[in-house]
Amino acid sequence: MADQHNPLPRAEVQIDLDAVKHNVELLTRLAGHSGAQTMAVVKADGYGHGAVAVGNAALTAGASWLGVASVDEALALRAAGIQARIFCWLHTVDDNFGPAVAAGIHLSVSSLRQLWAVNSAARAVGQEARVHLKIDTGLTRSGAQPADWPALVEAAASAHEEGTIEIAAVWSHLANADDPGHPSMDLQATRLDEAYKVVVDAGLRPLRHLANSAATLTRPDLHFDLVRPGIAVYGLNPVPGSADLRPVMTFRSSVSLARRVPAGESVSYGHTWTADQETTLALVPVGYADGVPRALSGQMEVWLGGTRRPVVGRVCMDQIVVDCGDDPIADGDEVVLFGPGVHGEPTAREWADKTGTIDYEIVTGMYRPRVRRSYVGGSR
C-alpha cells in the first residue's frame, strides 16, 4: 500500500534515465566501431518520454547530436539550454526558418523551394544556415527525386560559395531496416552513394547519414559518418534479440477501490465478463483516455501484488477492473500496466502485439494531459 505522504499516482509514466544512458552508451559504442557519430532522436517529445530530459541523458552518455522532426521541437531544446548540434527535417510550407538559422539548428532540405526559403532566412538573419540535403532513396516520402538532385546540388553549392549555406550532410531514410537482409537496404545505400558523388563532384565533402535504430544495431556497413537511433534510445528493439537494450518507460497506477463480489456478478459495460466464484475485484483509475487501448479489453493483464492478474470486462475511458481472486489487495496498492518486463510485468511490446501495432505508438501515446511523467536516475 502507498505511503500516505508519498501516494501513488492515478496515472504516471516513470522514465528511467539510467536506462537511457545505458542504451545510448551501447549505441554510441556500436557506431564508434564504424567511426560514426551518434544522433539521438528525441522527436515527439522524446517518443513520449520527455525530449529535454532524454536529450540531456543521451548527450551525457555519448551522443553528439539530437534529432527532432520540427523547427518548434528544435527551438524548444535550445530554449531548455541544450547547445549540442540539433537536426530537424520535417517542414511545413510556411515554416519561418529565421529563428532556427539564428539558433544554429541543422535543417533538412528536400527541394529547391525549401533551399530558397532557408537561404532567404540566412540572408535575413545574417548567419550561415546549416543544411542537410535529402535524397529520396526509396522510402518515397520527403527527399529530392534523383532526376531533381543535380539541380538541387548545383543551387546548394552556389549558395555555399556565397557563404549563406553550409552543406553539412547528405542523408536519406531506410524503408525496411527492421529486416536487415531486405534487398531494398543495399539499393538505398547505393542510391545514397550515387547522390553523394554528385555532391563531391561539386567540390563538397559533407557528412553522410542513413542508419536508424535497426541499421545501427545490425548493419555497420550503413553507419557512414552518423547514425540516427530513435526507438532504441528508449530501450525498445526494432530487431528483437539483437542488443541488450533496457526499456525506459514504466506505466503505473494504483488501486482506487478493492472489494469482494459474489459469484454471478458481471463487470462493466456490456457485461462481457461474469465472476464464476466469489472474488476480489480491484478498480484501477486509468482507461483509454490515459493510453490504455480499448482493444485490449478481455486480453490484458497488469502486475499487482507481485504477480500478473487479468483485467476483466471492457477497458473504459477512465478505469479498468482487475480480478484478484482470493489474494489480499488493498486500496492504494501499486499497479504496473507495462514496464521493462524484468519482474514479469507486461511490456509495451506485448500491448503492441495484442493490438496489431508497434511499441513506438504505445509509448508515444502516453504523452497525455492526465498522465503524470516522473524521472528516476541519470541527469534531468
Contact 327, 280 (CB under 8 A): yes
User: In the annotation, is 197 catalytic?
Assistant: no
User: In the annotation, is 43 catalytic?
Assistant: yes
| Domains in the chain with CATH codes | 34-234 (3.20.20.10), 249-376 (2.40.37.10)
Contact 75, 54 (CB under 8 A): no
Taking only the tens place, the pLDDT of each residue in 216-252 is 999 999 999 999 999 999 999 999 877 899 999 999 9
Q: Quote the pTM value.
A: 0.95
* Separation CA 91–CA 51 (nearest Å): 19
Taking only the tens place, the pLDDT of each residue in 243-301 is 899 999 999 999 999 999 999 999 999 999 999 999 999 999 999 999 999 999 999 99
Strand runs labelled E in the chain:
12-16, 37-41, 65-68, 85-88, 106-109, 129-134, 165-171, 207-209, 226-227, 249-254, 257-261, 266-267, 273-274, 279-284, 301-304, 307-312, 320-323, 334-338, 372-376
Taking only the tens place, the pLDDT of each residue in 82-112 is 999 999 999 999 999 999 999 999 999 999 9
Please measure the distance between the N-terminal and C-terminal CA atoms of the chain and give it in whole angstroms: 28
Contact 36, 226 (CB under 8 A): yes
Q: What are residue 41's DSSP bridge partners?
A: 67
Cell representation of residue 137: 532513396
Contact 80, 52 (CB under 8 A): yes
Catalytic entry in 43, 47, 234, 375: 43
pLDDT above 90: percentage of residues in the chain:
96
pLDDT band per the 50, 70, 90 thresholds, residue 6: low
Catalytic entry in 134, 196, 197, 269: 269
* Separation CA 65–CA 41 (nearest Å): 8
φ/ψ of 306, rounded to 5, equals 85, 15
Per-residue CA distances from 302 to 42, 299, 306, 350, 364 (Å): 28, 11, 10, 11, 20
Q: Tell me: pLDDT of 1 over 80.
A: no
Q: Tell me: pLDDT of 379 over 90.
A: no
* Separation CA 208–CA 133 (nearest Å): 10
Average pLDDT, the chain: 96
Taking only the tens place, the pLDDT of each residue in 133-182 is 999 999 999 999 999 999 999 999 999 999 999 999 999 999 999 999 99
Q: Tell me: pLDDT of 377 over 90.
A: yes
Q: Which of 6-20, 88-102, 301-315 has the least mean pLDDT?
A: 6-20
* Separation CA 129–CA 115 (nearest Å): 10
More confident residue, 3 or 342: 342
